[in-house]
Amino acid sequence: MDRSGEKNLNPYDTHAIEAAMQLKESGALPVEEIVAVSMGPESAVRALHKAVSLGADRSVHLSDDALAGSDVAGTGYALAQVLRREEPNLVLLGQQSDDGECYTVGAVVADHLQMPSLTQVIKLEVEGGTELKAERQAEYGYDTVKVQLPAVISVGDAINEPRYPSLKAIMGAKKKPLDTVGTGDVGIDAAKVGGDNATAKWVGSSLPPKKEPGQIIEDEDTAETVEKIVAWLDERKLI
Amino acid sequence: MANILVYALHYEGAINKNSLGAVSEGADLAAKTGGECHAILVGEGVADDLAASLGTHGATKVLRAEGPEGLAQPVVDAMAAAWASGAYDYALFGGGLLGFEVGAGLAARLGIGVAMEITAVHITDGALVAERPVLGDSAISEIRFAGEKGIIIGRLNAFELRESGSGPAAVENLDVSYSPFSTQAQMLIRGEQRGEQVDIEGANVLVAGGRGLGAAEGFQLCEDLASAFGGGAAVAATRAVVDAGWFPYAGQIGQTGKTVAPKLYLAAGISGAIQHKVGMQNSENIVAINKDANAPIFEFSDLGIVGDLNKILPKLTEAVKAKKGG
Ligand SMILES: Cc1cc2nc3c(=O)[nH]c(=O)nc-3n(C[C@H](O)[C@H](O)[C@H](O)COP(=O)(O)OP(=O)(O)OC[C@H]3O[C@@H](n4cnc5c(N)ncnc54)[C@H](O)[C@@H]3O)c2cc1C
Ligand SMILES: Nc1ncnc2c1ncn2[C@@H]1O[C@H](COP(=O)(O)O)[C@@H](O)[C@H]1O
């Protein structure tokens, strides 16, 4: 899977930025600064501009040809190397990337940073400035977990309603500091990243068994549409 | 030869069904390559019987580690400790949530590859090759692991349950010293059932609602349609609306909810995300109402209606009632 995308800000990640903003604005956590980090080709700058227009104070762009084609393990490792340098108290991620859809980069990052971690968190409260109370849905229902900071939290899209950036924030985004780094700057072992070094390698593809496409009705006259639905159900003895 | 270690998730004295599927799959793959399949359980006072029962599904040995339940990182520590014996080539997980976190964390720890959302595994030249559907399930990519060691995380319900074992497995206790950061998360409440108990697994007609209903009140439209169908019909939901508190967790379909296969599944205002699809794709008849003609749900619907559910559902309810009455 080509994970070099991230051309525009992944919509799921706006929830992570919003969660950071809410922690900062509520004073629940003393937040010195919010830093947006993205790994991707040159076009990832656009995602970072969006991130700072949503409230991040500055951004770091990890960009290097050596990173192209990295798998989840490589991406998580590379991101962890950038994050390590920032010494964060809290790393927030989104629930899934729109290109990779693995929902696992957070777990990889956390193991490299040796921080406690949870994914799919939909409620986050700070307790005493050093601990988080996080809620998320897992296989058997909702779990409430106490997590000590520093921690790595991937948030689910139900955690908040991201704000829209103001026109002023959009205009100002390009003025906020953007630091571009390559693998050498953050101590990334180039032998552990990139498509050629991927430990899970794409070796081929096939097509799934062809399924007959379903019937589609465009609703123009609802009475007629409903008649068609009922006939369809009736034919299959479903009513 | 491939020796496989399978993580078995358990809760309240029962092993997760997807983990049983993963053990079955692991046993099958191990047998085909002349290797062995072992399972690992991490928990507080896991009973001998429960651990040994994994033998039924083909595990020849079960490693049991005493440790916290419901959190991923302690399991990473336990699996890394087991891996240190040098006996294993692949780790396998059933679909769900915890296995994704454990598998990815373990990949980072061991420096080996990981592939997720896997729907099938085959063997090429003695190595495991994992199949992952991509691009909204329109193509299947094949993934092979460097050094022929890797971590495979299954998609929900991908691995079939089989009872290929010859009886209880040998249980061995595994000593694990947990990393400091693994114990910096602590479970306060596990498995909270938000909202009332509803039964969607027994229903032959399910009217499922999603974010497109607009608000909790929108579920009334689904309730009305379900009542029109009469006994045997129930209302279900997506995670998005359960997380929002619009509908009880017990009525959620999908990766971290229920798996259903009713005679008729009718979706209203549901986009058809993979994590939802995996819980309902075996329904006999799938009908979807969505105002977006490009919604992924139309890719796997038998009948798709492009339109506003607020206009269609009330009229459909009336029509179904009339049909039933007449
Ligand atoms: C690890 C993980 C586990 C997950 N587990 C689950 C799970 O168990 N179950 C689950 O369901 N999801 C799960 N999800 C979430 C999943 O990815 C989707 O976010 C979710 O299924 C979307 O729910 P939805 O279809 O209700 O909402 P949306 O995706 O927001 O879709 C709403 C749809 O309603 C349509 N709509 C809006 N208004 C109208 C109208 N008036 N008339 C008709 N149509 C309208 C829109 O066009 C849209 O397609 C999981 C995600 C992750 C990462
Ligand atoms: N290239 C990347 N740069 C920055 N963050 C990323 C990148 N890839 C994934 N992430 C983060 O990890 C989350 C989960 O991604 P994934 O595991 O790929 O579904 C995303 O929502 C992002 O927050």
Q: Along the 326 residues of chain B, how does pLDDT read in single tens digits?
A: 899 999 999 999 999 999 999 999 999 999 999 999 999 999 999 999 999 999 999 999 999 999 999 999 999 999 999 999 999 999 999 999 999 999 999 999 999 999 999 999 999 999 999 999 999 999 999 999 999 999 999 999 999 999 998 899 999 999 999 999 999 999 999 999 999 999 999 999 999 999 999 999 999 999 999 999 999 999 999 999 999 999 999 999 999 999 999 999 999 999 999 999 999 999 999 999 999 999 999 999 999 999 999 999 999 999 999 998 86
Domain range A4-197, its CATH number among 3.40.50.720, 3.30.70.270, 3.40.50.620, 3.30.70.260:
3.40.50.620
Measured CA angle at B61 (ends B57, B65), to 5 deg: 110
Query: What is the least distance, in Å, from the CA of A171 to any CA of chain B?
Result: 32
User: To which CATH superfamily is domain B205-323 assigned?
Assistant: TPP-binding domain (3.40.50.1220)
Contact, A15 vs A155, CB < 8 A?
Answer: yes
Neighbours of A208 (CB within 10 A): 12
- Report the mean per-residue pLDDT for chain A: 94
What is the rounded CA–CA span in Å between residue A182 and residue A63? 5
Give the distance from residue A173's alpha carbon to the nearest chain B alpha carbon, in angstroms.
31
Q: What is the DSSP string of A101-153?
A: --S-HHHHHHHHHT--EEEEEEEEEEETTTEEEEEEEETTEEEEEEEESSEEE
Q: B190 C-alpha vs ligand 2 centroid, how far in Å?
A: 27
Q: Which helix (H) or strand (E) holds B24?
A: helix B17-33
Which positions in chain A touch B140 (Cβ < 8 Å)?
205-208
Domain spans of chain B?
Answer: 4-183, 205-323
- Using a CB-CB distance cutoff of 8 angstroms, which residues of chain A are in contact with residue B303? 214-217, 229, 232
CA gap B321, B326 in Å, rounded:
9
| Interface membership of A116 toward B (CB under 8 Å) | yes
Q: How far apart are CA B276 and CA B258, in angstroms?
A: 10
- Mutation test residue for ligand 2: of A10, A86, A102, the one with most atoms within 8 Å of CB: A10
Helices A105-113 and B72-83 pack at an angle, to 10 degrees, of 70
Name A210's Cβ contacts closer than 8 Å, sequence gap at least 6.
none
Compute the distance between CA of residue B117 and CA of residue B7 in angstroms, rounded to an integer.
16
Q: Residue B232: how many CA atoms within 13 Å on its side-chain side?
A: 9
Domain boundaries, chain A: 4-197
In sequence order, the β-bridge partners of residue B120 are B131
Write the class of the CATH domain B4-183. alpha beta
Cα first-last separation, chain B: 65
Q: Confirm whether pTM is higher than 0.95.
A: yes
